[in-house]
Homo-oligomer: A and B are copies of this chain.
Amino acid sequence: MTVIDAVDKPRRRRGRDARKQARTERPVRFLPELDRRIPVIDLMSPDQVKHIHDATMTLLENKGIEFRDDESVALWKAAGALVEGYRVHIDRGQLLELIATVPESYTMVARNRARSVTLGGLKQIFTPAYGSPNVLDLDGRRRYGTLADFDAFAKLAHMSPAMHLSGGVLCEPMDVPVPKRHLHMVYSLIRHSDKPFMGMVTARERAEDTVAMAKILFGSDFVENNTVMTSIANCNSPLVWDQTMLDAAKVYASANQAMLYTPFVLGGASTPASTVGSLVQINAEALAGIAFSQLVRRGAPAVYGQWLATVSMKSGAPMAGTPEICHMNMLVGQMARHYRLPWRCSGGCSSAKIVDAQAGYEAARNMYGVMMAGANFVLSTTGYMEGALTQSYAKFVLDAEQMEMFYRLGQGVDFGELDAALEAIGEVEAGGHFLGTKHTLDNFERAFMMPELMNHDSFEQWEAEGGLDADRRAAARVRQMLETYVPPPLDEAVDEELRDFVARRERELPDDVR
């Protein structure tokens, strides 16, 4: 198996604490990026792919796309594109030439090199949810997120084997002033986990501060020559890249850091009420953003992709797990493969307000479609509630376990097992059973996953143990994880320099958004 057992162990305790620790302790496991060994679902014929490509090129050439930022349109002009105000008409020859220099895959280096991950091609990574202002806490209360919540989610991400990054905006720490929030988030991601992390994007200076902190952590030269972060630029769909996002893209691309170029799809609102129509618009927006990144720095890692929802005609709210979202993910994936670009989408999405059956249905459906589509960077696999407005502790760990199962699903089937299994069949008599056989005892744990947060006890035993629903069982697991969390080692001088940087920038930055 590909599980790495980490050497990190909780600090030893004594007496009653030690007994409690022994009961609750579990080694921290990590999974490397998934090296996919199952096929993807392609919904389009080669002719249909070409048709979507041609429609996209025509759209970018004729209607064009807006880059609402003077520096950015200057870059396009300098590259010879036809620019009218902020509107850029991108010629298909130029576009294809620009995206050709994007790496088909890239590695995000972690401060603990054993946690570095590669994505692109058949390699996939899973990451936590992003950007919720609210949290659903362990008592089931919905409230604004705080920096303490952020820290806790970073710890959970660190301890979840199938989470390949510590995360990005794990939740909005609403108790920290907006202009200073990014400092504390980046520090928390670095301090609480040794996995790679995501950068801040809501203003140029926040992206610059993130890069500065990465340079403290890794060294300036190292960051210049390696990718240690991936950040998000959302397209203001339809067909607008705005200054905030372009500023962040310029900072990260010029520092050789990766960026997700993400059309923000609310099917029927920001894209047409059509799956294939939305596909053309997504394709145009993502490709234009990626092409722009190559104007900033040729060869900078860039990821194709989208955040996808269809909207409810009843409330206008985003829906998750619908068949059209599954279709769109599959279509987008096929286009990304056509262009040989790594691509992203969002995984365990839900509109549920509490961790009920809806939360389970939607997260599993949405993520299964993503898995079949083969996304390389799967954002928001854990904790996502209420159309991204709320991050749930309980759902975080439920989803994290689901992601271990999706990881296993993606690993495919081991045919090397066959001969020993056939021997076992030969030995068990007709009408007998395999339960006590040596083959079963030797192989069961490796052969069949047993998700621990899914209860498989008898009704009677389940009832005797309190009759807890999945939400409450998961809350108990979160408490246990946070109790046994051990921070990964961080060089003290580096830590001090990071904290000094945060303190200095805190003094320099205003408390209010100017």
Contacts and interface: CB of A to CB of B under 8 A. Distances in A.
A144 to B, nearest CB: 13
Size category of the binding interface on chain A: 35 or more
Contacts of A278: 421
Contacts of A360: 356-364
A413 B331 CA distance: 9
Contacts of A316: 435
A189 B405 CA distance: 38
A495 B471 CA distance: 48
Interface stretch (A8-16, A119-127, A268-276): A268-276
Contacts of A267: 447-448
Interface string A318-359: 110111101100010000000000000000000111111111
A402 interface: yes
B447 A268 contact: yes
A351 to B, nearest CB: 5
Interface string A21-60: 0000000000000000011011110001001000100010
A408 interface: yes
A510 interface: no
Contact of A409 (B327, B358, B413): B327
Interface string A270-288: 1111111110110000000
A454 B323 contact: no
A467 interface: yes
A41 B313 CA distance: 33
Interface of A: 38-39, 41-44, 48, 51, 55, 59, 63, 65-66, 87, 142, 236, 238-240, 267-278, 280-281, 310-319, 321-324, 326-327, 331, 351-365, 368-369, 372, 386-387, 389-390, 395, 398, 402, 405-406, 408-409, 412-415, 417-418, 420-422, 424-426, 428, 430-435, 437, 439-440, 443-445, 447-451, 453-459, 461-463, 467, 469-471, 474
